Amino acid sequence: MTITRESLTQAATHGQPLDHLTAGQVWAAHKLAIPPERLQRPLASHIGILLENVERKARRHFFGGVERSDTDTMIARAYDEQHPPFLRLPILEVLRQGMDEHFPDLKPAGYDDQGQAVYALADIAQALDVPEDELLDHAEQQGMLDQIKQTPAPHRVH
């Protein structure tokens, strides 16, 4: 397979590997705007080292300072688009699968501008069998209340 600028961009955006490059190498090559012809097999050792170092730095930034049991921080980082898709998207997929498995009847009320599912607080409260006020109190304790109140109205599901 010949790596092109378009295939590199698409794979980097979707957090996917491409040909002989790992998802992390793809993202690093895209970030550094390395010409596709420099990424063909066999990968020059200096290019491989450069990609590895950029990927390692991104991993340190993403995982750095997070305790193993600190799921809230990891989830927040997974939703933070400043981090590379190859690190964020696998976590978001696991979260989506968990929602589907544990709350199969909970359906999005709509989608935001980025295409992410948005749920109504009343529907979440019903699925968890707790009052909405309790969820709002928890959101306030977690410092998320402003985010909930400032979230623009979702695009409705038809």
Domain boundaries, the chain: 1-102, 106-158
Q: Which residues pair with 8 in a beta bridge?
A: none
The 3-state secondary structure of 22-41, one letter per residue: CHHHHHHHHHCCCCHHHHCC
pLDDT for 17 equals 97
**Degrees to nearest 5, angle at CA 15 with 11 and 16:** 55
**Which SS3 state, helix, strand or coil, does residue 132 take?**
helix
More confident of the two residues 28 and 104? 28
Strand runs labelled E in 17-152: 110-111, 117-118
C-alpha span between 37 and 5 (Å, rounded): 9
158 has pLDDT over 60: no
Q: What is the pLDDT of residues 92-111, one digit of tens each?
A: 999 989 988 998 988 888 88
Give the model's pLDDT for residue 153. Answer: 64
- pLDDT the model gives residue 150: 64
Sequence-separated (6 or more) residues with CB below 8 Å from residue 67: 73
